[in-house]
Chains A and B, each alone.
Chain A
Amino acid sequence: MKLRIIRPRVGSKALRRATPLEYFLITLLATFTLLPIVYMVSTAFKPLEEMFLYPPRFFVRHPTVRNFAELLLAIDALSVPFVRYAFNSLFVTVVTVGAGVIVSSMAAYPLAKYPRMPGGKLFFSIVISTLMFAPEVTQIPRYLIVDRLGLIDTYAGLIVPALAGSYGLFLMKQFMEQVPVELIEAAKIDGASELGVFWKVVMPLVRPAWITLIIFAFIGTWNDFFTPLIFTRSEQMKTLPLVMSEIGGGPGVVARWGAVAAASLVVTLPTLILFLLLQRFVMETMSYSGIKA
């Protein structure tokens, strides 16, 4: 059963109905924003003749799936079946995201709700500082460490180093700060343990935050090209973005226009589907409105 709190809308200027003009402007802007995406989808179905037409055409005229066939053919030429790459990508992404969200949320809770805990402030400012260090350079030292631990070319090597994400901790802490202390205290008086408070009171309240983190971590891990590039050696451990870039002959080189256009669509689709499934939780209204913040 879902509890919904109906709020009076009279009081707020900001929540007053938008005018038709606003709808029109936002719709116009949204359409404009979507044009390159539409173009990507349309190009994936274009036959080769249409790609180099003059004048250039935005929409496909005679849609074909030949590009996808070409993509499959290109992948078939590799020694490992396509399913293996897809499994690698999916497995690594799902485990990284799931474990990562739990690890960062658990660390964020004390930092957000116990500001007097010794060392908390210092630790948080160190985390924020590392956020500002370009990942390109720390990749090499990180590679040396992963190598020393014997994790190169393993799933653990792709997953474990990505779990302690500074972004995740930062995001979760920012949202948890808004959870009223009264709720936590009330739960404790009712006999809840610290773990119980965290899992049953705080986490449900900040659901929009961790759903946002899931979306954001999923996209980051799924699209990550650099980590698998340097942390894997064998063909069996490669992930989709790596394979896709090989099909196109690497970034910048345009060998198979059709296959590359189809590949762009294939790589983008899972992230889009995930977002469609989860976005309503990002927008959901939090339910502690009755308590003064």
Chain B
Amino acid sequence: MSALTRRWQTIRYAWHEYHTLYLFMLPFIVLFLVFVIAPVATAVYLSFTYFNVLEPPRWIGLSNYRLLFVEDDIFLIAVKNTLLFSVITGPLGYAISFTLAWFINRLRFRQGYTLAFYTPSITSSIAMSVIWLYLFANDRYGVLNYLLIEIGLISEPVAWLREQSTILPVIIVISLWMSMGTSFLVFLAGLQDVPHELYEAGMVDGIRSALQEVFYITLPVMRPQLLFGAVMAIVNSFAVFQVAAQVAGLPSPLYAGHTIVAHLYDYGFIRFEMGYAAAIAVVLFIFTFVLGRGAMRLFSEK
């Protein structure tokens, strides 16, 4: 009884003290509950059912998950490819974004350089796929093959988009090319926020090299932006699909470019096994969630 009263009092106090702020958040909260939370909750529920969109979902417990890990060999290939891709593209794209942003921030003609590195991420992957199919074409007509043959590095054209060993590397190269996106801009904007006084104070405290300055001043001040960039890098690299599907096809030769989201898309929108697709999504969510939490701990205060 008294616990209940106390809780009620806390709520009344919170409302009294913060009601303007809660009203600020109201539009977002309502939209978020209806269009984000409800769909996510439904997706989690569907992962325990058999659901083909036409008939109502039928509860089948953990069957989808069992199938996924025990019998679905192609899913395991997808997991392997996605992990390989993420381990390379995530940290590398992140590091390049920050390094380039830091360099550009000290240059003249900053806007020109920013434009050059940012433009690739503006392009839609559907629009660019035409270009990749040209550049990485499997025969002599492909620009890359032509150049390599001219230089003498290879004598026969390499089937970049058909060979099992080259599909993933091509996808990685294209993704890195497109990775100077939002995080890159966020880093550039964040670099502007570092109060200049801190640099001066650092000089007084005996900071001697630019590298020391980056580590002791710039990075700590930019913690909020760095966290944003890290979460984006994790989510995006685990969600790799569009580029892979556009250049290598779905399914790709010997599943060499098959990713978790490609598998999800295959079951959700080609076979219409939404329950199974939802289970794949939940597994993907757990992967990214754990890593995202790790990143948040890494970048949190203290």
Contacts and interface: CB of A to CB of B under 8 A. Distances in A.
Given A18-B106, A26-B107, A268 B123 contact: yes
A133 B134 contact: no
B185 interface: yes
A39 to B, nearest CB: 6
Given A37-B119, A110-B21, A136-B264, A12 B199 contact: yes
B74 interface: no
B258 to A, nearest CB: 15
Contacts, number: 321
Given A13-B199, A109-B24, A219-B121, 4 more contacts: A109-B21, A169-B28, A257-B130, A282-B189
A173 B228 CA distance: 10
Contacts of A167: 182, 232
A61 interface: no
A293 B127 CA distance: 44
A18 B107 CA distance: 6
A130 B37 contact: yes
A7 B199 CA distance: 11
B177 interface: yes
Interface string B198-212: 111001000111101
A39 B130 CA distance: 11
Given A14-B102, A145-B38, A241 B118 contact: no
Chain B interface size range: 35 or more
B130 A132 contact: no
A16 B207 contact: no
A86 interface: no
Given A11-B196, A263-B127, A268-B122, A130 B188 contact: no
A133 B231 contact: no
B130 A261 contact: yes
B268 A178 contact: no
B115 A128 contact: no
Contacts of A134: 239, 261, 264, 281, 284-285
Interface of B: 10-11, 14, 18, 20-22, 24-25, 27-29, 31-32, 34-40, 42-43, 46, 53, 100, 102-104, 106-107, 110-124, 126-135, 140-143, 146, 150, 177, 180-182, 185-186, 188-190, 192-193, 195-200, 203, 207-210, 212-214, 218, 221, 224-225, 227-228, 231-232, 234-235, 239, 241, 245-246, 249, 261, 264-265, 268-269, 274, 277-278, 280-281, 284-285, 288-289, 292, 296
* Among all A-B residue pairs, the 9 with the closest Cβ atoms: A107-B28, A164-B31, A141-B42, A264-B127, A137-B281, A30-B116, A174-B224, A208-B189, A141-B39
A268 B128 CA distance: 9
A175 B104 CA distance: 20
B3 to A, nearest CB: 16
Nearest to A39: B131
Interface in A111-137: 111, 114, 117-119, 123, 126-134, 136-137
Interface in A200-250: 208-209, 212, 215-216, 219, 223, 225, 241, 244-245, 248
Contacts of B120: 33, 36-37
B131 A264 contact: yes
B158 to A, nearest CB: 15
Contacts of B31: 103, 160-161, 163-164
A141 B38 contact: yes
A170 B192 contact: no
A164 B36 contact: yes
Given A132-B235, A257-B130, A145 B34 contact: yes
Given A208-B192, A271-B122, A260 B265 contact: no
